[in-house]
Amino acid sequence: MEEHKNLKTDETDKRILELLVDDGRMSYADIGKKLNLSRVAVRSRVNQLIDNGIIEKFTAVVNSEKVGKEVSAFFEVDCEPRALVEVAENLASNPYVASCYQMTGPSTLHMHVLVSDFPELESFINKELYALEGITRVESHILLRRFKSRSGLKL
Amino acid sequence: MEEHKNLKTDETDKRILELLVDDGRMSYADIGKKLNLSRVAVRSRVNQLIDNGIIEKFTAVVNSEKVGKEVSAFFEVDCEPRALVEVAENLASNPYVASCYQMTGPSTLHMHVLVSDFPELESFINKELYALEGITRVESHILLRRFKSRSGLKL
Amino acid sequence: MEEHKNLKTDETDKRILELLVDDGRMSYADIGKKLNLSRVAVRSRVNQLIDNGIIEKFTAVVNSEKVGKEVSAFFEVDCEPRALVEVAENLASNPYVASCYQMTGPSTLHMHVLVSDFPELESFINKELYALEGITRVESHILLRRFKSRSGLKL
Amino acid sequence: MEEHKNLKTDETDKRILELLVDDGRMSYADIGKKLNLSRVAVRSRVNQLIDNGIIEKFTAVVNSEKVGKEVSAFFEVDCEPRALVEVAENLASNPYVASCYQMTGPSTLHMHVLVSDFPELESFINKELYALEGITRVESHILLRRFKSRSGLKL
Amino acid sequence: MEEHKNLKTDETDKRILELLVDDGRMSYADIGKKLNLSRVAVRSRVNQLIDNGIIEKFTAVVNSEKVGKEVSAFFEVDCEPRALVEVAENLASNPYVASCYQMTGPSTLHMHVLVSDFPELESFINKELYALEGITRVESHILLRRFKSRSGLKL
Amino acid sequence: MEEHKNLKTDETDKRILELLVDDGRMSYADIGKKLNLSRVAVRSRVNQLIDNGIIEKFTAVVNSEKVGKEVSAFFEVDCEPRALVEVAENLASNPYVASCYQMTGPSTLHMHVLVSDFPELESFINKELYALEGITRVESHILLRRFKSRSGLKL
Amino acid sequence: MEEHKNLKTDETDKRILELLVDDGRMSYADIGKKLNLSRVAVRSRVNQLIDNGIIEKFTAVVNSEKVGKEVSAFFEVDCEPRALVEVAENLASNPYVASCYQMTGPSTLHMHVLVSDFPELESFINKELYALEGITRVESHILLRRFKSRSGLKL
Amino acid sequence: MEEHKNLKTDETDKRILELLVDDGRMSYADIGKKLNLSRVAVRSRVNQLIDNGIIEKFTAVVNSEKVGKEVSAFFEVDCEPRALVEVAENLASNPYVASCYQMTGPSTLHMHVLVSDFPELESFINKELYALEGITRVESHILLRRFKSRSGLKL
DSSP for C6-53? -----HHHHHHHHHHHH-TT--HHHHHHHHT--HHHHHHHHHHHHHTT
Q: Whole-model pTM? A: 0.89
Contact F60 E57 (CB under 8 A): yes
> F: neighbours with 3+ CB pairs under 8 Å?
C, D, E, G, H
> CA-CA distances (angstroms) from residue E110 to C6, E136, E138?
53, 14, 10
Chain C interface includes F118 (CB < 8 A) = yes
Give the pLDDT mean for D35-46: 96
Query: What is the rounded average pLDDT of the residues C148-153?
Result: 80
User: β-strands A97-103, A108-115: how paired?
Assistant: antiparallel
Q: Is D148 on the interface with F (CB under 8 A)?
A: no
Which SS3 state, helix, strand or coil, does residue E141 take?
strand
CA distance G8 to chain H (A): 9
Q: Work out the minimum CA distance from F127 to partner chain C, whole angstroms.
A: 13
| Residue pLDDT, tens place only, E4-45 | 444 678 899 999 999 999 999 999 999 999 999 999 999 999
pLDDT, mean of residues D18-24: 94
Q: Which residues of G68-84 are buried (b: 16+ CB within 10 A; e: fewer)?
A: ebbbbbbbbbbbbbebb
pLDDT of residue G150: 79
The pLDDT of residue G155: 65
pLDDT, tens digit, 9 for 90 and up, residues C69-117: 889 999 999 999 999 999 999 999 999 999 999 999 887 899 999 999 9
- Looking at residue D155, what is its pLDDT? 65
Q: Which residue of B has its CA nearest to H106?
A: B105
**Interface partners of E (3+ CB pairs, < 8 Å)?**
C, D, F, G, H
pLDDT of residue H125: 95
Q: Which residues of C touch F122 (CB under 8 A)?
A: 144-145
Residues in chain G, pLDDT under 70: 1-7, 153, 155
Assess A4–D contact: CB distance below 8 Å, yes or no. Answer: no
Test B64 with A7 for CB contact under 8 angstroms.
no
Q: How far is CA H90 from CA G52, G152, H93, H131, H138, in A?
A: 35, 21, 5, 11, 15
Ranges of chain B whose pLDDT falls below 50 = 1-6
* Tens of each residue's pLDDT in chain E, 155 residues: 344 444 678 899 999 999 999 999 999 999 999 999 999 999 999 999 999 999 999 999 999 888 888 899 999 999 999 999 999 999 999 999 999 999 998 878 999 999 999 999 999 999 999 999 999 999 999 999 999 987 776 66
Structure-derived torsion over alpha carbons of residues B108, B112, B118, B120, reported in degrees to the nearest 10: -100
Q: Nearest residue on chain A to D139, judged by CA atoms? A: A106
Classify residue A41 as exposed, middle or buried by CB count within 10 Å of its CB (0-12, 13-18, 19+).
middle
Assess whether chains G and C touch, using the rule of 3 or more C-beta pairs within 8 angstroms: no
Chains E, G: CB contacts under 8 A, how many? 39
Q: Are E28 and E39 in contact, with CB atoms under 8 Å apart?
A: yes
Residue in H122, H144, H145 closest to E144 by CB: H122
* Contact between chains at D138 and A2 (C-beta distance less than 8 A): no
CB F112 within 8 A of CB E155: yes
Cα D40 to chain centroid distance, Å, stands at 30
| Secondary structure percentages of chain G, helix, strand, coil, to 5 | 40, 30, 30
- pLDDT of the residue at G7: 60
Query: What one-letter code names the amino acid at C99?
Result: S
The 10 Å Cβ neighbour count of residue A83 is 16
User: What are C48-58's pLDDT values in tens digits?
Assistant: 999 999 999 99
Give the mean model confidence (pLDDT) for residues C128-134: 93
Host H or E run for residue C43: helix C39-51
Q: List the single best residue of B75, B111, B126 to mutate versus C (max C Cβ within 10 A).
A: B126
Burial of F152 per CB tally in 10 Å (0-12, 13-18, 19+)? buried
- Is the Cβ of H107 closer than 8 Å to some Cβ of chain A? yes
E104 touches chain D (CB under 8 A): yes
User: Measured over all CA atoms, what is the biggest interatomic distance in chain B, rounded to whole angstroms?
Assistant: 58
Q: Is G102 on the interface with H (CB under 8 A)?
A: yes
Residues of C in contact with E82 (CB under 8 A): 130-131, 133, 135
C136–chain E Cβ distance below 8 A for any pair = yes
Check pLDDT > 70 for residue D31: yes
Asked whether the predicted pLDDT for residue D4 surpasses 70, the reply is no
Q: What angle do CA H48, H54, H58 make, to 5 degrees?
A: 90
The half-sphere exposure of H3 on its side-chain side, counting CA atoms within 13 A, is: 6
Q: pLDDT for D73-88, tens place per residue?
A: 999 999 999 999 999 9
3-class DSSP state of B140: strand
Q: What is the pLDDT of residues A34-78, one digit of tens each?
A: 999 999 999 999 999 999 999 999 999 999 888 888 899 999 999
CB contact under 8 A, G118 and B82: no
E152 and F114 Cβ atoms separated by less than 8 Å? no
Arithmetic mean of pLDDT over chain F: 90
Residues C154 and D150 sit within 8 Å (Cβ to Cβ): no
Q: Does F142 touch chain C (CB under 8 A)?
A: yes
**pLDDT at residue F3 in the model:** 41
On whether the CB atoms of residues E130 and E121 are closer than 8 A, the answer is no
Neighbour count for residue B83 (Cβ, 10 Å): 16
* Per-residue pLDDT tens digits for F76-129: 999 999 999 999 999 999 999 999 999 998 878 999 999 999 999 999 999 999
Residue A109, min C-alpha distance to chain B (Å): 9
Q: How far is F23 from chain E (nearest CA, A)?
A: 5
Which among D9, D21, D15 has a CA at the least distance from the CA of D48? D9
Provide, as residue numbers in chain B, all residues whose Cβ is less than 8 Å from the Cβ of H104: 104-105
User: Rounded distance, CA H109 to CA H95, Å?
Assistant: 17
Q: What gap in Å lies between CA C110 and CA C103, rounded to an integer?
A: 7
- Largest distance between two CA atoms of chain E: 58
| Gap between the Cα atoms of A18 and F60, Å rounded | 81
Which pLDDT score is estimated for G101? 96
> Coil, strand, or helix at residue G86?
helix
State the pLDDT at residue H5.
47
- D122–A107 C-beta distance less than 8 A: no
Helix (H) or strand (E) holding F149: strand F135-149
Model confidence at C7, pLDDT cuts 50, 70, 90, reads low
Provide the pLDDT for residue E2.
Answer: 40
Query: Helix (H, G, I), strand (E, B), or coil: what is residue G87?
Result: helix
% of chain A with per-residue pLDDT over 70: 94
Q: E141 at the F interface (CB within 8 A)?
A: yes
Q: What is the mean pLDDT of each run of 10 residues along chain H (155 residues)?
A: 55 94 95 96 96 94 89 93 94 95 90 94 95 92 92 71
Listed as ranges, residues in chain A with pLDDT below 50 are 1-6
Q: G80 CB near a chain B CB, below 8 Å?
A: no
> Residues G30, G36: contact at Cβ < 8 Å?
no
Q: Are C66 and D54 in contact (CB under 8 A)?
A: yes
Burial grade of D125 (CB within 10 A; 0-12, 13-18, 19 or more): buried
Q: Phi first, then psi: give them for residue B124, nearest 5 degrees.
A: -60, -45
Q: How many residues does chain E have?
A: 155
Separation in Å, CA of E82 to nearest CA in chain C: 5
Chain E residues within an 8 Å CB radius of C142: 104
pLDDT of D138 above 80: yes
Mean per-residue pLDDT, D59-67: 90
Residue G26's φ and ψ, nearest 5 degrees, are: -60, 135
Could you give the 3-state DSSP secondary structure of residue G27? coil
Task: Flag whether residue B6 sits within 8 Å of chain H, measured between CB atoms.
Answer: no
pLDDT one-digit tens code per residue, C25-39: 999 999 999 999 999
Q: Can you tell me the ipTM of this complex?
A: 0.86
Q: CB–CB of D122 and A85 under 8 A?
A: no
Supply angle C-alpha H117, H119, H122, rounded to 5.
110
Nearest residue in chain A measured CA to CA from H2: A119
Q: Taking a C-beta distance cutoff of 8 angstroms, is the pair B65, A1 a contact?
A: yes
> Do residues D135 and C44 touch, judged by C-beta distance below 8 A?
no
Q: pLDDT at position H52, please?
A: 92
φ/ψ (deg, to 5) at E127: -100, -30
D80 CB within 8 Å of a chain A CB: no
Of the partner residues G55, G143, G155, the one whose CB lies closest to the CB of residue H112 = G155
Contact of D8 with chain C, judged by CB distance below 8 Å, is answered with no
Going by pLDDT thresholds of 50, 70 and 90, the confidence category of residue D106 is confident
B137 vs chain D: nearest CA distance in angstroms? 16
pLDDT at A60: 94
Q: Is F58 on the interface with D (CB under 8 A)?
A: no
Q: What is the pLDDT of residue F155?
A: 65
Q: Which contacts (CB < 8 Å, 24+ apart) does range C94-98 have?
A: C94/C128, C96/C124, C96/C128, C97/D148, C97/D150, C98/D148, C98/D150, C98/D153, C98/D155
The residue type at B86: E
Check: CB of residue F130 under 8 Å from CB of residue D84: yes
Q: Which residues in chain F are closer than 8 Å to E59, comparing Cβ atoms?
A: 20-24, 58-59, 61, 151-152
Which residue is closest to A101 within chain B, CA to CA? Answer: B146
Please give the pLDDT value at position E61. 92
Closest partner CB to G3 (pick from E119, E131, E135): E119
